[in-house]
Amino acid sequence: MVTVQIEPTLAQEFPEIYISTREVDVKVRQSRNLEELVKELRSSINYTLENLKENRVVKSLRDFFWKIGVDPTRVRPTSEALVRRILGGSSFPLINNVVDAGNLASAETLIPIGLYDLDKIVGEPVLRFARQGEEFIDFTGRIIKLEPRSIVLSDDVGIIHVFPYRDSLRTMIGWSTKRVLIVAYGVEGIPKELVEHAADKVIRYLRLL
């Protein structure tokens, strides 16, 4: 069982950061009924594009982004961005059943969720501040030079996630992925129970997709 640690320096400055993890065996394929599930989710959403920013989870994430020097009106938390696509009538991203399950759970709960190929993680992951001059290769293959205040999830090889909106190329979910690490992220103002619920939702959607 993989345990995600929080670096003491980060935990001291942001003791409100909370992580919930799950491990699950998967068979990666194209999703079978994503459109139906997105339609159900759209009908259950009880807020609009205009008042979404007043949602307590969205507000908490935006406040946290400001604290770490990220403008949330330019770089939105992934969960908010997904909901905006649904509310705006844009097509929901269709990747594979694993990533789609994570996106649905994130859109439903508004909790940022990371999914990682467990067999490509080396050692025990740790959530920490990025180091001076540290670089990150995102899932598109682009090399990004990180600011020291960036919060990252890394293993013994390097960074696998920039918290809480960008995954790495090395540990992304691919067609050959067999085991997945699910990480749901919470910050101040977000109930821990909701973070736990979001992680469980990924597994529920995996069964439906």
- Could you report the per-residue pLDDT of 13-50, keeping only the tens digit for each? 999 999 999 999 999 999 999 999 999 999 999 888 88
The structure's pTM equals: 0.94
Gap between the Cα atoms of 107 and 100, Å rounded: 10
Phi, psi (degrees; rounded to nearest 5) at 25 = -85, 140
Convert the pLDDT of each residue in 113-162 to its tens digit. Answer: 999 999 999 999 999 999 988 988 888 888 988 887 889 999 999 999 98
Exposed (0-12), middle (13-18) or buried (19+): which is 113, by Cβ within 10 Å? buried
CA–CA gap between residue 127 and residue 155 (Å, rounded): 9
Helix (H) or strand (E) holding 181: strand 179-186
Q: Which domain holds residue 42?
A: 5-208
Which CATH number fits the domain that encloses residue 93?
3.50.40.10
| Domain tally, the chain | 1
